[in-house]
Amino acid sequence: MRNPDFIVIGAGITGVRAAIELAPHGQVAVLTKSKLQDTNTEFAQGGIAVAMGGDDEVGLHFDDTIRAGDGLCDEKTVWTLVEEGPARIQELIDWGTPFDQEGGKLAFGREAAHTQNRILHAGGDSTGREIHRTLIGKVLSLESVHLMSESFVLDLLMEAGKCRGVTYLNEETSRVRDLTAQAVLLATGGLGVLYPATTNPDIATGDGCALAFRAGASLADMEFVQFHPTVLKLPGAPPFLLSEALRGEGGRLRNANGELFMSRYHPHNDLATRDVVSRSILAECQRLKSDSVFLDATGIDSEFLQQRFPRIFQTCLEFGLDITREYIPVYPAAHYIMGGVLSDGQGRTTRPGLFAAGEVACNGVHGANRLASNSLLEGLVFGARTGRAMVQEPSSFVPKQRDSLKIDEWPVDQTASPSTLKEAIQAIAHEDLGAVRSKEGLESALAGLLEMSFSVHPKRSDQEINNLLSNARLVAGMALVRQESRGAHHRTDYPSRNDPVWRRRITARYDSQKAKVIYEALPITRDLHSQQSIDSVTIS
């Protein structure tokens, strides 16, 4: 296509919702590196949280989100999330999303750390898939939106510190070309593939974070990686997520001896926050020298269990496990990152023309630990808000553009590392960047990651490895800087939360003149374009 007015990178819930908002204001190109259905949204089982039913109130949703965020949420963006959430859900209903009902009314469930029943589901445990299907149907009806699959973004086009487009690879034609626009949105999702065991699909390689970092934008809170506590652990089975809603409906965690154990770790028992449950499982496995614990759903009515969780029931059955009668072996796996590209409530980043929303962004809405089922709502609310903000971006500048190139015409660094680098990166992440960390492990991880070199060949597989490496360094670096335990970041050498020193946002940016990564500790809420910081630490 010709150069559009707006570029959206990513076709999940955030990117598609932004494209719908942008459609009346110009031509929109939505680039996705794979097929339209290959998104994290499609894998979201648990549901979407919203204060719309019964005695629930947005203020209660706000309180639960703040509590889960462990002192690091930006209250302004959290309020935006919970206040605008009902309107975004009503849009989905109007557009045809078939949310589950009881007695002709929306059915609300409960998950960990929620004090009210506020979790909507669609198709039982297919919420993300149903929402995404609705949004894709909506966007396909808009003539100004152009969906470009198999289009992998290699780099952001920067001019005088401003983002003016992208360089991307069309994998169908093997050609590399530039695409310019007045504003670019990163909606690329998370980085779960950094870890060998993850609930994320293979596409979750943290591309957006790496693109922004190379462009000189600030990233924040990358040390906060959330591990989902209940992921299927069976020989030959993938790390399949077992929704938190299973525990919300009465499922219980048992150790290798079949004993209930969560009461020893937290007063909320099985419905404690994900970071607490994950660390409790790890502690119990270490205590009993076992490789998993069990999720017991046998106390839930068999017929209800199959109707409420059809995908989970069928998937487990395919691996010889009947969850209505047998315990389910589970173990924590990488699930979501609270950190990402530093942004505000309008999706603006520290680089003009560049926007970020959804899991790739860090606007403070999740703090140090995301509240269950807030992620889909975040994509809707901030996808729409960011779309509106992008319309206001000045459009007078048009950068130079080069002709498209074939892959074999692209200049290649012959010293580039092989793709086997991926396994080495994942091994370090598994060993030292998991749910429990230490100074020695983090220092070893960062040293090992800094010794690895980048590949610059414009093949998608090589570029994804590059992006994983960038993200691994950022996770290790920020985890080393934060000398406390908070939310999803737990250090054995600093086991307590330390508000007087560390109730701040850790940011990182690449200083090309100094050839260093600059780490700064900044206020939770701040002007993104301010040059002032409270404190700064440099790790070269």
Q: What is the pLDDT of residue 177?
A: 92
Q: What is the pLDDT of residue 256?
A: 96
What are the residue ranges in the chain where pLDDT is below 50? 410, 414-416, 531-532, 534, 540
Question: In this structure, how many other beta carbons lie within 10 angstroms of the beta carbon of residue 500?
Answer: 5
Q: What is the pLDDT of residue 452?
A: 87
Domains within the chain, CATH numbers bracketed: 6-219+335-391 (3.50.50.60), 228-332 (3.90.700.10), 409-539 (1.20.58.100)
Tens digit of each residue's pLDDT (9 = 90 or more) over 432-488: 999 999 999 999 999 999 988 766 677 888 889 989 999 999 999 999 999 999 999
Q: What's the burial of 70, exposed, middle or buried (CB within 10 Å: 0-12/13-18/19+)? A: buried
Q: What is the pLDDT of residue 417?
A: 57
Taking Cα atoms as reference points, which of 107, 130, 132, 133 lies closest to residue 119? Answer: 107
Question: In this structure, how many other beta carbons lie within 10 angstroms of the beta carbon of residue 63?
Answer: 14
Q: Is the dihedral of CA 449, 221, 464, 5 positive or negative?
A: negative
259: Cβ–Cβ under 8 A, 6 or more apart, which residues?
A: none
38: Cβ–Cβ under 8 A, 6 or more apart, which residues?
A: 32, 201, 203
Name the residues annotated as catalytic.
274
Q: What is the pTM of this model?
A: 0.92
Q: What is the dihedral of CA 329, 246, 314, 302, to 10 degrees?
A: 100
Tens digit of each residue's pLDDT (9 = 90 or more) over 89-119: 999 999 999 999 988 999 998 887 899 999 9
Cross-strand pairs, 337: 225
Q: Is the dihedral of CA 490, 496, 501, 503 positive or negative?
A: positive
Q: What is the pLDDT of residue 421?
A: 87
> What is the number of alpha carbons within 13 Å of residue 320 lying toward its C-beta?
5
Six token digits for residue 285:
């496995």
Cross-strand pairs, 219: 341, 508
Q: What is the pLDDT of residue 10?
A: 96
Q: What is the pLDDT of residue 274?
A: 85
**Three-state helix/strand/coil letters over 153-186:** EEEEEEECCEEEEEEEEECCCCEEEEEECCEEEE
The secondary element (H helix, E strand) that includes residue 286 is helix 274-288
Q: What is the pLDDT of residue 117?
A: 93
Buried b (16+ CB within 10 A) or exposed e, 398-430: eeeeeeebeeeeeeeeeebbeeebbebbbebbe
Tens digit of each residue's pLDDT (9 = 90 or more) over 382-395: 999 999 999 998 77
